[in-house]
Amino acid sequence: MTRHSAQSDRPAGALSWWGRLQRLVPWVGWAVLGLLLVLAWLGPLYLSTFDLILAFTLFNYMTMAQSWNLLGGYGGQFSLGHSLFVGAGSYTIAVLLLHTGLPLLLDLLLSGLLAAVLATLAALLLMRLREAYFSIGSLGLAMASLTWMLNWTFTGATSGLNLPPAATLDYSTLYYLALGLLMATTLTIVLLVRSPFGLRLMAIRDDQEAAAELGVNSFPVKLVTFAISAFFVGIAGGLIALNKLEIEPDSAFSMNWVITMIIITIIGGIATSTGPLVGAVVFFTLQQVLQNSQDLSSLLTGLLLIVIIRLAPEGLWPLVLKLGRRLGEALIARLGPGEAPAGALTSEERLTGRPGLGEG
């Protein structure tokens, strides 16, 4: 007798408490997400100025890690050159604010677009490379860009640029800009990964030769992914410039930016949409708790990274999901031997929301 036929013996709609609980889980998740979004959007009403600054920084970390994860996690292209796009976004908005009278939102958009153009040009050079060669090549481009900016007099060379007084924004505005960018980045990446384009991207990551045999052209897929990833990082760089009001090459193009993106993504869970968000919270909290001891902060961050790579290589978020599944399986086992409780959904039913086809 199949699971489906066994369930049909019960009156229609007579699901057990376990089946009802399983059906409620997705709705509870959406409710929690909605509550968090409402609380985040109302943040300036109950957060202090200092807290708004912290939240702004956290949102930017999340955005940059989420963007890097699109290329490095879902695309399998481990970029070490994303600092280039942070710096490009910062300098673009500074130059636009100093020399044009364009609206601020357009300046931010152009910061992202220039970063995307630079990523497209970089892709023409790098996308034939794989694995370590791609990483080294991207790092080389970032270092070359820093050297260029240190000597380019138009952007102040080593002195950098100071943004005009008109660029000064209150922290509530910066908070909303960073939150809006994070939401747009996350939504775009989630939709992209779940689209046919995302399937092609992950197929190329898993086995490029096999994907090519199936007719998937890897170059345009990688190029578009690189450009989208750089676009959001470039806008984040523009927001960083608006917050600091002064930029110079060593900080704008610092390797610390891409190192932070990678650490956050690995901690939270690479190739997951929630992982960079979780990783950013963990990383940022550790930074704040140990802000008076930079050496200790770096040491503990490194130790945490080693522990996660050794014990939970998929990251913290996949580990939480795995523990949740095991807890559910243990609960099912305690409720009765053999089969799950009456009304419990099969894995197929949980995924599709429709009755399964049975077990044969």
Domain map (residue ranges) of the chain = 46-255
For the stretch 179-182, contacts whose Cβ atoms lie closer than 8 Å and that sit 24 or more positions apart, written own/partner, are 179/40, 179/41, 179/43, 179/55, 179/59, 181/59, 181/60, 181/63, 181/232, 181/235, 181/236, 181/239, 182/59, 182/62, 182/63, 182/66
Q: What integer pLDDT is reported at residue 6 of this predicted model?
A: 46
The dihedral over CA atoms of 348, 349, 354, 360, expressed in degrees to the nearest 10, equals: 60
Q: What integer pLDDT is reported at residue 297 of this predicted model?
A: 85
Q: What integer pLDDT is reported at residue 353 of this predicted model?
A: 43
Whether 342 shows a pLDDT value over 50: the answer reads no
Model pLDDT for residues 100-129, shown as the tens digit of each residue? 989 999 999 999 999 999 999 999 999 888
Q: What is the mean pLDDT of residues 88-106?
A: 96
Q: What integer pLDDT is reported at residue 24 of this predicted model?
A: 67
Is residue 10 very low, low, confident or very high in pLDDT (cuts 50, 70, 90)?
Answer: very low
Q: Name residues whose C-beta falls within 8 Å of residue 40's C-beta, 6 or more positions apart in sequence.
A: 179
Model pLDDT for residues 256-269, shown as the tens digit of each residue? 999 999 999 999 99
Q: What integer pLDDT is reported at residue 331 of this predicted model?
A: 74
Whether 360 shows a pLDDT value over 60: the answer reads no
Q: How far apart are CA 283 and CA 265, in angstroms?
A: 10
- AA identity, residue 106: L
Q: What is the mean pLDDT of residues 183-193?
A: 96
Provide, rounded to the nearest whole percent, the portion of the chain with pLDDT above 70: 85
Q: Are 358 and 2 in contact (CB under 8 A)?
A: yes
Three-class SS of the chain: CCHHHHHHCCCCCCCCHHHHHHHHHHHHHHHHHHHHHHHHHCHHHHCCHHHHHHHHHHHHHHHHHHHHHHHHHHCCCCCCCCHHHHHHHHHHHHHHHHHCCCCHHHHHHHHHHHHHHHHHHHHHHHCCCCHHHHHHHHHHHHHHHHHHHHHCHHHCHHHCEECCHHHCCCHHHHHHHHHHHHHHHHHHHHHHHCCHHHHHHHHHHHCHHHHHHCCCCHHHHHHHHHHHHHHHHHHHHHHHHHHHCEECHHHHCCHHHHHHHHHHHHHHCCCCCCHHHHHHHHHHHHHHHCCCCHHHHHHHHHHHHHHHHHHCCCCHHHHHHHHHHHHHHHHHHHHCCCCCCCCCCCHHHHHHCCCCCCCC
Whether 204 shows a pLDDT value over 80: the answer reads yes
Q: What is the mean pLDDT of residues 22-34?
A: 73
Q: What integer pLDDT is reported at residue 356 of this predicted model?
A: 40
Whether 9 shows a pLDDT value over 50: the answer reads no
Beta pairing class for 161-162 and 246-247 = antiparallel
Q: What integer pLDDT is reported at residue 45 of this predicted model?
A: 93
Whether 359 shows a pLDDT value over 70: the answer reads no
Dihedral sign from CA coordinates of 260, 264, 267, 273: negative
Q: What integer pLDDT is reported at residue 19 of this predicted model?
A: 64
Mean pLDDT, rounded, of the chain = 87
* Least confident stretch, 286-295, 321-330, 332-341: 332-341
Residue 90 has φ and ψ, to the nearest 5°, of: -65, -45
Model pLDDT for residues 35-80, shown as the tens digit of each residue? 888 999 999 999 999 999 999 999 999 999 999 999 999 999 999 9
Q: How far apart are CA 342 and CA 336, in angstroms?
A: 10
Is residue 17 very low, low, confident or very high in pLDDT (cuts 50, 70, 90)?
Answer: low
- pTM here is 0.86
Q: What integer pLDDT is reported at residue 3 of this predicted model?
A: 47
Model pLDDT for residues 206-223, shown as the tens digit of each residue? 999 999 999 999 999 999
